[in-house]
Amino acid sequence: MSTAVRQHTAARTDRRPATMGQALRRALRDALADDPAVHVLGEDVGTLGGVFRVTDGLTAEFGADRCADTPLAEAGILGTAVGMAMYGLRPVVEMQFDAFAYPGFEQLVSHVSRMRNRTRGRLPMPLTVRIPYGGGIGGVEHHSDSSEAYYLATPGLHVVTPATVADSYGLLRAAIASDDPVVFLEPKRLYWSKADWDPEEPDAVPGIGKAVVRRRGSSATLITYGPSVPVCLEAAEAAREDGAEGWDLEVVDLRTLSPFDEETVAASVRRTGRAVVVHESPGFAGPGGEIAARITERCFHHLEAPVLRVAGFDIPYPPPMLERHHLPGVDRVLDAVARLQWESGFTSGRDGAEGRGGGAL
């Protein structure tokens, strides 16, 4: 299991360790309490509290109309949520696992994402689709897909994926409050990651669309999101300790894949001159390709090396006994960082933000 992401706010006495799952549940609870238009629906979200227990206790507190077990039908869940939104409700639907959202894909791309556009803004779709995603939990087939590229390729959807306990709460509240549909990807192997967090005073998380620099560094930027954030932070620590000439890596957590915070990413890469995009989903036609292209367009003259990608292999998600070979881990990230030297004889940190350090070609 990955290390918990360090919270960068100072620990306070009223803070207690909370898991990402608990923060998500709290966000749902508070949204239901604050706005009677919010309705939670999905498979097993009622009595059971969802297979990951994220909706635990919501039916008991708000009734079976506000947190409803639905028939087992993803297109039905998303399709009825469209109608509910048309009548002024704000549905928050749960898809049980990443690969089980696919039967609902048609409703998502043909209607959820387009209804505002089609009706010239008269029928906004304020609905949130929560999807536990990604691997690393030893799930059997269809329980570990990273499907973000599909959603990113669909104009009209926002795609959000938190990596910390505080962000889980803040971003889910923002998603539910959004007047646009949000695909909210929950990195399922971080559900149990803990951090000190005070639910009465949730950290101020900027709304959808803002990336954050999780770790400052000067020699290269790791651009990542969701389950790969802790991996990259660990890699950054390891790189620094790796001998006297270690790398000082900056880590950018995108938090929101769409809209994409180009400014934060470009500012970071201009400072460091090198970038690696890290994600779990297959690399071919994956988010990394898009991000690398944008960095090249925006930062070409600042780049000391090509933008590299560390991604899952271009294979159907492997069986549990082999998944560790597929998932980008610390070593693979460090290998990529080493390749950033790009025959340049690059040694250590850079001399100044705009400087062209280290004997580049």
Does residue 8 have an active-site annotation? Answer: no
DSSP string, 88-104: T-EEEEE-SSGGGGGGG
- Residue of 15, 30, 51, 106 interacting with another protein (CB under 8 A): 106
Complex with another protein: residue 104 or 286, whichever CB lies closer? 104
- Residue of 30, 44, 84, 137 interacting with another protein (CB under 8 A): 84
- Beta bridge partner(s), residue 308: 276
DSSP state of 87: T
For residues 48 and 236, give the distance between their C-alpha atoms in angstroms, rounded to a whole number: 39
DSSP string, 11-47: P-TT-EEEEHHHHHHHHHHHHHHH-TTEEEEETT-SS
Q: Is 177 in the site for another protein (CB under 8 A)?
A: no
Q: Is 326 in the site for another protein (CB under 8 A)?
A: no
Q: Are 304 and 158 in contact (CB under 8 A)?
A: no
- Residue of 141, 263, 351, 354 interacting with another protein (CB under 8 A): 263
Which residues, other chains included, contact 44 with Cβ-Cβ below 8 Å and sequence gap of 6+?
Answer: 50, 51, 69, 96
Q: Is 218 in the site for another protein (CB under 8 A)?
A: no
**Least distance from C-beta 323 to another protein, angstroms?**
31
**Least distance from C-beta 316 to another protein, angstroms?**
23
Q: Of the candidates 228, 237, 221, which has an alpha carbon nearest to the alpha carbon of residue 302?
A: 221
**Least distance from C-beta 145 to another protein, angstroms?**
20
Assign 201 to helix, strand or coil.
coil
**Least distance from C-beta 119 to another protein, angstroms?**
5
Complex with another protein: residue 122 or 301, whichever CB lies closer? 122
Q: For residue 154, give both structure tokens.
A: 């669909």
Number of residues interacting with another protein: please give it, by CB under 8 A: 49
Q: Is 57 in the site for another protein (CB under 8 A)?
A: no
Q: Residue for token digits 């999905």? A: 42
Q: Is 86 in the site for another protein (CB under 8 A)?
A: yes
Could you tell me where the beta strands, DSSP code E, fall in 64-219?
67-69, 90-94, 128-133, 158-160, 182-187, 194-197, 212-215
**Least distance from C-beta 355 to another protein, angstroms?**
28
**Least distance from C-beta 51 to another protein, angstroms?**
20
Sheet containing 212-215, strands listed edge to edge, beginning at the edge strand earlier in sequence: 212-215, 249-253, 220-224, 275-282, 308-312
Q: Is 117 in the site for another protein (CB under 8 A)?
A: yes
Q: Is 243 in the site for another protein (CB under 8 A)?
A: no
Complex with another protein: residue 155 or 345, whichever CB lies closer? 155
- Residue of 80, 96, 268, 272 interacting with another protein (CB under 8 A): 80
Complex with another protein: residue 232 or 266, whichever CB lies closer? 266
Q: For residue 85, give both structure tokens.
A: 């939104």
Catalytic residue among 39, 143, 158, 302: 143
Q: Is 173 in the site for another protein (CB under 8 A)?
A: no
Catalogue the active-site residues: 143
What residues make contact with another protein under the rule CB under 8 A? Answer: 39, 65, 70-71, 73, 75-76, 78-89, 91, 103, 106-107, 110-111, 114-124, 155-156, 158, 178-180, 209, 258-263
